[in-house]
Amino acid sequence: MKLKEILVLFLMVIISTFVFGDNHSNQVNSKMVEGLTYTNYIETELGMDIYWEFSENQELFMMLKAPVSGWISIGFEPSKKMKGAKIIIVGFKDEEVILEEYYGNTQISHRKIKEKYITEFYGERTEEYSLAEFVIPLDNESRYNSLQPGSIIKTIIAYHNSSDSFSRRHSKRDTIDINF
């Protein structure tokens, strides 16, 4: 081989290592719904990973994964801080996954709502993370019906590092925009 061919081959190997090197994919399979692969993903500055997928049946499948052993949450469309947000909090009680829905009644507090919109959910906890997966109905009667493909939604996220008590203040929180 000529030196030029060796250099070209070497550069191709180097470039392919950078492009394909860690074989990392932001797609992840659902742990709750067989055959569902999440193709939409955002990694937050808090280290919380958010995955979502819309169905043809007016549903939004979501998965949250955070490096904590406490509750994790997401809230949609706050006007300021928590106020007005539609909040979903997931934690564990005696190895059982608990999902509750709240409304941000002030900038710094929320109240549990009476009606349950989310009835399908799953959770798991390991030494490395807490994971929550749930199905959000998007029909006209749902409080979440503004979450549609192509919409950009102001979103609050939070978690507690070690507690599953939903009354415990978050360890970390952030406000992000999700382009659904």
As beta bridge partners, residue 156 has 75, 175
Domain 25-179 in CATH 2.60.40.1210? The answer is yes
As a whole number of angstroms, the distance between CA 135 and CA 137 comes to 6
Q: Tens digit of pLDDT for each residue in 30-43?
A: 999 999 999 999 99
Taking the whole predicted model, whether its pTM rises above 0.85 is answered as no
pLDDT at 86: 96
Distances (CA, A) of 109 to 102, 118, 167, 169: 10, 21, 10, 10
As beta bridge partners, residue 134 has 62, 121
pLDDT at 106: 87
| Low-confidence residues of the chain: pLDDT under 70 | 1-25
